[in-house]
Amino acid sequence: MKWKPSNDQDTICAISTPPGVGGISVIRLDGPNAFTVVKKISFKLNNKIGLPETEVPGTGLLGTGLPEKPESHRAYFTRLKSVLDDKILDEVIVTYFAFGKSYTGNTCVEISCHGNPLVCAEIIKNLIHLGCRMAERGEFTYRAFMNNKIDLLQAESVLSLIHSQSKKSLEISLRQLKGELSQAISKIEEGLTLVLAHIEAGIDFSEEDIKVNDENMLKEKMKNTHQIIKEMLANYKKGRIIKEGLLVTFLGEPNVGKSSLLNAMLGESRAIVTDIAGTTRDTIEGQIQLKGQLINLIDSAGIYDSSDEIEKEGIQRSLISAQKSDVVFFVIDVLAEKTDFSILNKVFDFYPSKDCSPKDDPPKDKKILFVLNKIDQDINGEKTKKWQKILKKEGYEDHPSCHVHSLTKKGSLPLVKFLEENFSNYLTVESSSVINQSRHFELLTKADLACERVLEQLQDDYELELIALDIYEALVNVKEILGKKFDDEVMDRVFSDFCIGK
């Protein structure tokens, strides 16, 4: 059997806007028959159904069926009629993208119809009846990638765009799409190639009359390149937070008011909240947006010395959640007599040592916020003052604290304010070289370590072929980010930079 891909020649379709009722929905078609299929279900406004001829607002044109030869990147106003039962489906805008000029490189059509799931379903049904098939997840991107319209980085960015949950994350993905990250990484690649070319020339052409041992230049170049890598790594955390959202866990003993605080915060922005229900014994999550930045709030099971197996599991999860978080809200009931501060140690003991935590981790004093809750019930404020003293005594005086109550919306505002004040730098995107894929992070980390070794070895006059091994390692990893393979470019570089020849 001949092994050939018929799938790539199919015309595919899918609803490209999120599911649900909205103003409009967009249905996208891709493949050789994209336009002809749509043309089959379009019809003139003044057809036999006898509707009056209407002018398309602002264009002076009469709505017609689609033309024989459409212009690329032009939108056409038309009506769609079902070929199954002759019923009018919708009034739509059809935008046509010619072969080679679309996002995927194929002939592509976008139908903007009214955002009603039933309408969309009917249109799709017709398209499939006429020979289209439903696109698989990410298939448009796959096609764009296959047709060389986007590179690997861009393809990944699009996928991350599809999955991105906040506006900020969208911005970064868009920047990556524009190739800014590709450019930044290419700069690293360029630097490493240059250094390696010099080292290789020193090995393979040591008999030649060439100057390759300008060590200071090499060190300088290496340092600069390493610096770019380090900066990009430092930005990863930021990129991750921007993409996945800031992670905030409410931690504390049972019944200190964690859940009601969570609800109060969610209540502030209910319209954009997506609640994921859990059991009371498990962690409960909710999301809010703050200045366009996604914030994940996690309510955890109250921590105490339980003998119940299920509760123990819940408590364990609370600790893990807090440890993974960017911020921990440690909630204290001001009416209570005491609280168990050892919970905090349990959380931070998960960090084996300071060195192991990511370099750019927010400092601990920003990581924990002491939340003195139920101040509305502390009529004269004495209990609150008492707790402030306790915090001081326990050695947490440098940590921020705030006073809240969860009875009204306003009661939880100090928490929002805290996030705004302390994480505002994560709420703006200033650098274009933010990486937000864990794959990129891993590869860059390897490159970072290799560069560090190179710098040490250059200092210690190591054997050139061993230094070359480390530069090669860095280069291989950087190239993998770009989806490139190590090839002859080092030798090409040697020949273009040095006069070699006996």
Partner 1 sequence: MESFDVIIVGAGHAGIEASLVCARKGLKTLVLTQNLSRTGFMSCNPSIGGLAKGHIVRELDVLGGEMAKAADETCVQFKRLNAGKGPAVRGSRTQNDKNLYTQYMSRTLSEQKNLTLKEAEVKSLIIKNHQCVGVRVEDGSEVFSKAVIITAGTFMNGVMYIGEVKEKGGRIGDKASVGLSDQISEYGFCVKRLKTGTPPRLYRDSIDWSKTQVQKGDDVFYPFSFTSSPKLKLPQIDCFLTKTNEKTHEIIAKNLKKSPIYGGIIDGVGPRYCPSIEDKIVRFSEKNEHQTFLEPEGIDSESIYLQGISTSLPENIQYEFLHTIAGLENVKMIRPGYAVEYDFIEPTQIWHTLETRQIKYLYFAGQVNGSSGYEEAAAQGFVAGVNAAHKILEKKEFILGREEAYIGVLIDDLVTKGTKEPYRMFTSRAEHRLMLREDNTVDRLSERGYEQGVLPSQVYKKMKQYLEQKEKFLTFFEKNKIYPNGETQKKLANLKSAPLSKPLSLKELLRRSEIHTSDISLFCEDIQIPEDIKDPLEIEIKYEGYIKRQKQLIEQTQKMEEMKLPQDIDYGFICGLSVEEKEKLNEVKPRTIGQAQRISGVNPSAIQSLLIYLKGHLNR
Cα distance between residue 115 and residue 117, in whole Å: 6
Q: Which of 200, 285, 326, 378 binds partner 1 (CB under 8 A)?
A: 200
Bridge partners, 49 (sequence order): none
Which span sits near partner 1 by CB under 8 A: 65-73, 243-251, 406-414, 486-494? 486-494
- x/- map, 143-182, partner 1, by CB under 8 A: x-xxxx--xx------------------------------
Only one of the segments 268-276, 355-363, 364-372, 491-499 lies at the binding site for partner 1 (rule: CB under 8 A); that segment is 491-499
Measure the CA–CA gap between 448 and 452, rounded to whole angstroms: 6
Yes or no: say if 362 and 326 are a contact pair by the CB < 8 Å rule. yes
Residue among 55, 86, 204, 215 that touches partner 1 (CB under 8 A):
204
What would the x/- binding string for partner 1 be over residues 93 to 132, using CB under 8 A?
----------------------------------------
For residues 477 and 392, what is the distance between their CA atoms, to the nearest angstrom?
48
**Residue 182: both structure tokens together:** 């590709």
CB of 448 to partner 1, least distance (A): 15
Task: Select from 52-60, 292-300, 429-437, 493-501 the region that touches partner 1 (CB under 8 A).
Answer: 493-501
- Please give the size of the binding site for partner 1, defined by CB under 8 A: 43
Per CB under 8 A, 183 contacts partner 1:
no
Q: Is 359 helix (H, G, I), strand (E, B) or coil?
A: coil
Residues 6+ apart with CB under 8 A from 30: 11, 12, 13, 102, 104, 106, 107, 108, 109, 135, 140, 143
Q: Is the C-alpha dihedral spanning 101, 102, 107, 109 positive or negative?
A: negative
Q: Which stretch binds partner 1 (CB under 8 A): 21-29, 203-211, 223-231, 395-403?
A: 203-211
Residue 87, class by beta-carbon neighbours within 10 Å (0-12 exposed, 13-18 middle, 19+ buried)? exposed
Q: Which of 3, 345, 380, 430 binds partner 1 (CB under 8 A)?
A: 3
Window 450-479: residues binding partner 1 (CB under 8 A): 463-466, 468-469, 472-473, 476
Can you tell me which of 47, 54, 59, 206 binds partner 1, judged by CB under 8 A? 206
Q: Indicate the SS3 state at residue 289.
A: strand
HEC profile for 85-118?
Answer: CCCEEEEEEEEEECCCCCCCCCCEEEEEEECCHH
Range 311-370, binding partner 1 (CB under 8 A): none
Chain residues in the site for partner 1 (CB under 8 A): 1-5, 7-8, 142-143, 145-148, 151-152, 200, 203-207, 209, 463-466, 468-469, 472-473, 476, 482-486, 490-491, 495, 499-502
